[in-house]
Amino acid sequence: MSAPTLTRPVEHARLDRSPKPARARGFRKTIWRHRTLYLMAIPGIAYFLLFKYLPMGGLAIAFQDYQPFLGISGSPWVGFEHFVRFFTEDTFFMLLRNTLVVSALLLVFAFPVPIVLALMLNELRGRVFKRSVQSVIYLPHFMSWVIVVSLFYVLLTTDRGAINNLITALGGDSISFLTDPDWLRPLYVLQNIWKSAGWGTIVYLAAMTAVDTSLYEAAELDGAGRMRQSWHITLPAIRPVIVVMFILSIGDILELGFEHMYLLLNSLNREVAEIFDTYVFTAGLQNGQLSYGTAVGLFKGLVGLILVVLANRMSKKFGEEGVY
C-alpha cells in the first residue's frame, strides 16, 4: 500500500522536469528512473509474497483428502467433497447465524463507541486530565484476551464470583453468565467494547486534529454551543474516516477472531458460541480433519472478500472515497 502513495509525488516532479511524453520511454525506463523507490518497496513486496501469497498454495488441501505424510503432492484429490459436506450439515447454518449475529451486534453496539468517546475526549480542555484519561482507556488494548476473559470469569462465575455474590447478597438468584447461552452475546460485545473502544479513539482523534479551527470560531460567533459544534463541524469532518473504518469492519464481519470466542466457548453455550474460527480449530486441528477445516476456512475467506468489495462499492456510491 505504501508503494503507490510514495511514487505519486515523485511522478509529478519528473513530469515537471522532462517535457517528453512518459509513454514513449517505456515501462523499463520508468522503473530505472525510480529505482530507489522500487528498491525500497522490495522488502514490503517480499514480505507479502513470502508470508501472504506463498502460504495460499496450502489452500489446495481443501480439495484433497490431505494426509500429512503423503504431503500435498501425494494426497488424493476429492474435488468439492468437503464443501458439499459442510453445506449439507446443520452446523453450517448454526455457524453462519452465530457469526453474523455477533458481527451485527458488534457493528451496532461496539462500532459507535470509539466515535462517541473521541468526541467527548475532544471536548476536554485540561491537558493533563485528557492525557491521563486517554492512557487509562488505551490500557485494556494491551491485555491479551486470556487476561480479559479470566478477569470476567473471576467476576462472573456463580462459584463465588464477585457479581454473583453481590446479587445473592441483595436477595437475587445468581445468574450463570458464563454458561447461559443467552448471556454469551452480551458478554462478548461488552468485553469487546471494554478492550478495544479506547484504542479505537486514536484514529478519530487524529482526524479531529485536522479540522480547521476557524470553523469553530465562526460557529461560535453564530452562537452555536458545544453540542452543535460537535454535530455540525466535527462529525462531518471525520465522516470519511468513519466510512473507511466502517468498510474495514464490514470486511472483518466473518473475521471475529478465534481467541476471544474460543475462551468463552463451553459445552453449554456452544449452540450460540461456535463460530467459523472456532469450528475450523475444533474440526480441523483438535479432531484432525485438516482438509475439512481448510475448506471451512476458505469459504469464510471468500465471503469476507465479497463483503469488502460490496462495502467499498457502496461507499463510492455514497460519494465517499473507499479503501481502494
Give contact residues for another protein (rule: CB under 8 A): 35-36, 39-40, 42-43, 46-47, 50, 66-71, 153, 157-159, 176, 178-179, 266-268, 270, 281-283, 285-290
**Cell for 263?**
475462551
**Residue placing its CB nearer to another protein in the complex, 205 or 264:** 264
Determine the 3-state secondary structure of 97 from DSSP.
Answer: helix
Closest approach of Cβ 81 to another protein, in Å? 12
Closest approach of Cβ 39 to another protein, in Å? 5
**Residue placing its CB nearer to another protein in the complex, 67 or 249:** 67
CA 34, CA 28: separation in Å to the nearest integer?
A: 10
**Residue placing its CB nearer to another protein in the complex, 81 or 252:** 81
- Comparing CA positions, the residue from 243, 262, 255, 244 lying closest to residue 302 is 255
Instruction: Give the position of cell 465562526.
Output: 218
**Residue placing its CB nearer to another protein in the complex, 119 or 273:** 273
Neighbouring residues of 323: CB distance < 8 A, sequence distance ≥ 6 = 244, 247, 248, 308, 312
Closest approach of Cβ 79 to another protein, in Å? 18
Degrees, nearest 5: CA angle 214-218-222: 165
Neighbouring residues of 10: CB distance < 8 A, sequence distance ≥ 6 = 34, 37
- Comparing CA positions, the residue from 154, 96, 86, 145 lying closest to residue 272 is 96
Determine the 3-state secondary structure of 78 from DSSP.
Answer: coil
**Residue placing its CB nearer to another protein in the complex, 137 or 264:** 264
**Residue placing its CB nearer to another protein in the complex, 109 or 153:** 153
**Cell for 94?**
448454526
Closest approach of Cβ 46 to another protein, in Å? 6
Closest approach of Cβ 66 to another protein, in Å? 8
